[in-house]
Amino acid sequence: MSRIAFIGLGRMGSGMAGRLLAAGHEVVVTNRTPQRAQPLLDQGALWAPTPAEAVTDAVAVFAMLSDDAASRAVWEGPGGVLAGQLEPGTFAIECSTLSPARVRELSAAATAAGMRYLDCPVTGLPEAAASGSLTLLVGAEDADLELARPLLKPLASDLFHFGPVGSGTAYKLIVNLIGAVQIAGVAEGLAMAERAGLDPAQVATALALGQAASPQVVRNSQRMVAGDHDSNLAFSGRLRQKDTAYAIALAHELGIGVPFGQVALDGLDELLAEGWGELNESAIIEVARRRPSQD
């Protein structure tokens, strides 16, 4: 089996690193908060103090990070991946959801360092990361992806290769923009239902059985009714806001208007301004409940 460096041990990254360990790989982990690594160290992972040290002798470097700033710090900052002793042809597998501009920047830097770059964001919640049932959204050269497939297999039940580097991120931002619009819509609908005197729990049940149902609508409507925004964090409002902003930036690059997406982003901006960004994204209903009519 292979030696793999894994950087970023949040809810998603920890599960993914665990899957690589379970597949028999030697996994070297590093994280800004060392305490997060302990469960993986207990399973046999190795610890490295910095990304540069983690990548020594690795055939692949996986990263699962929160945003562009975290990606720059990990890859190009002091003690970053690109400052390490990289073997020619080492895979750079960036699973974070980044902006298109950052993907272009990072793929150029990694390629210049002799790495094979895979744009590989994922869809799926932390439970899917831990069970190896994520969906991988890949942008890469055909030959690079074929060589990397054995490393990716423990992580996912599905893999979509959308084309060259950047195409995986483009799809991820598109689908997350759709999700943001759906979540904003269900928040407004439930707020209306409450004002109309309907039973919110019954409304959520009916939504799950009707034409408006989607995994986003079903999951978030149930959480909105339960009001458990601060427990069992699945996807935070801050991350949804970041992904939506990156998606709108992509739309601007493509010269297409996304007014529904902008409305969703406005609501998420308000969510963050109220200090609710670290709660589940379902907390957007609190914004919908407070908004007055525009009449």
Q: What is the pLDDT of residues 219-245, one digit of tens each?
A: 999 999 999 999 989 899 999 999 999
First to last CA, the chain: 64
Q: Is the pLDDT confidence value at 64 over 90?
A: yes
On the 0-12 / 13-18 / 19+ scale of CB atoms within 10 A, 114 is: exposed
3-state secondary structure of 52: helix
Q: Are residues 263 and 235 in the same domain?
A: yes
Quote the domain boundaries for residue 274.
Answer: 170-290
Last residue of a domain, one of 106, 133, 164: 164
Last residue of a domain, one of 164, 195, 224: 164
Element (H, E) at 119: strand 116-119
Query: Residue 256 domain-assigned?
Result: yes
Q: Are residues 158 and 228 in the same domain?
A: no
Mean pLDDT, the chain, as a whole number? 96
Query: Residue 295 domain-assigned?
Result: no
CA–CA dist 26, 58 (Å, integer)? 9
Pair 271, 237: CB distance under 8 Å? yes
Taking residues 118-132, what's their average pLDDT? 97
The model's confidence at residue 1, banded by pLDDT at 50, 70 and 90, is confident
Pair 107, 165: CB distance under 8 Å? yes
Read off the amino acid at residue 154. P
- DSSP label at residue 232: S
Q: What is the pLDDT of residues 13-59, one digit of tens each?
A: 999 999 999 999 999 999 999 999 999 999 999 999 999 999 999 99
Q: Answer whether 0.85 is exceeded by the pTM.
A: yes
Catalytic-role residue among 172, 229, 238, 242 = 172
Query: Residue 178 domain-assigned?
Result: yes
Q: Is the pLDDT confidence value at 285 over 70?
A: yes
CA–CA dist 139, 167 (Å, integer)? 5
Percent of the chain whose pLDDT exceeds 90: 97
pLDDT for the residue numbered 295 = 60
What does the DSSP assignment read for 200-219?
HHHHHHHHHHSTT--HHHHH
- What CATH number has the domain bearing residue 57? 3.40.50.720
Q: What is the CA radius of gyration of the chain?
A: 20
Last residue of a domain, one of 143, 164, 185: 164
Question: Residue 18 half-sphere exposure, CB side, CA atoms within 13 Å?
Answer: 22
Is position 172 annotated as part of the catalytic site? yes
Taking residues 76-95, what's their average pLDDT? 96
